[in-house]
């Protein structure tokens, strides 16, 4: 755990040095969300019905932006080899990277989701379910993104392959997250969709860590 905490602290310090990545993700989140009313019109009823899906799509796309630097910088300067020799399993190292990605990207997007949803005229009954779904949803997106970034590490045009790999895997998260908010807006229980999001997180936690660890060892070899 000491090595894990040290690695997590290192990743957070590096993220602070390159804070423009987190700000770019937040800015993209708001700009993309603001484009939808311009495209579909400012009708409050239409925006209220589409607001959960809009917020989820924008959060998914914004979470992809910093992923190309997650392992790329360490791979290019040789730090990845040193990290793999620090005594921490590769899967645990991937978990530290995923935790840093969520703290610097997923958590800010979660905090920014409420203002964007209110701007899109979301129904008040749907807002708590939307935020409750985004918590496990953004964690799962960070895990999937970490695994995807590790798999395409060292590949030609990895930045193009990464979204093509992660987006299909993230589709169930998007579906259940939007379904929870839609159910709450309609007066139905959002608990089933939220439980499914929790199940996806429980599956992604070990699965993505192991996949990312194996991909990192292969890339280092």
* pLDDT tens profile 90-106: 888 889 889 988 999 99
Radius of gyration of the chain (CA): 18
Range of the domain at 61: 2-220
Number of folded domains that form the chain: 1
**Do 52 and 179 form a contact (C-beta atoms < 8 A)?**
no
**Do 134 and 110 form a contact (C-beta atoms < 8 A)?**
yes
Question: Which has the closest alpha carbon to 137: 169, 177, 99?
Answer: 177
Q: What is the C-alpha to C-alpha distance for residues 69 and 88, in angstroms, rounded to an integer?
A: 21
* pLDDT tens profile 14-56: 777 777 778 888 999 999 999 998 888 888 888 889 999 999 9
User: Can you give the pTM of this predicted structure?
Assistant: 0.91
């Amino acid at each position: 755990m000491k090595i894990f905490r040290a690695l997590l602290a290192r990743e957070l310090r590096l993220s602070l040095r390159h804070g423009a990545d987190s700000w770019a993700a937040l800015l993209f989140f708001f700009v993309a969300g603001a484009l939808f009313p311009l495209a579909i019109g400012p009708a409050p009823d239409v925006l209220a019905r589409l607001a959960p899906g809009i917020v989820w799509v924008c959060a998914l796309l914004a979470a992809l932006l910093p992923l190309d630097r997650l392992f790329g910088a360490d791979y290019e300067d040789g730090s990845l080899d040193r990290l793999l020799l620090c005594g921490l399993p590769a899967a645990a190292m991937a978990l530290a990277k995923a935790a840093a990605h969520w703290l610097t990207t997923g958590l800010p997007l979660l905090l920014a989701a409420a203002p964007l949803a209110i701007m899109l005229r979301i129904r008040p009954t749907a807002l708590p379910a939307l935020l409750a779904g985004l918590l496990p949803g953004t964690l799962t997106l960070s895990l999937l993104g970490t695994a995807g970034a590790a798999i395409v590490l060292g590949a030609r045009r990895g930045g193009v392959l990464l979204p093509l790999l992660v987006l299909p895997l993230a589709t169930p998260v998007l579906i259940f997250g939007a379904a929870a908010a839609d159910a709450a807006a309609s007066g139905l229980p959002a608990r089933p969709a939220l439980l499914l999001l929790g199940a996806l997180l429980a599956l992604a936690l070990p699965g993505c860590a192991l996949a990312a660890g194996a991909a990192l060892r292969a890339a280092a070899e």
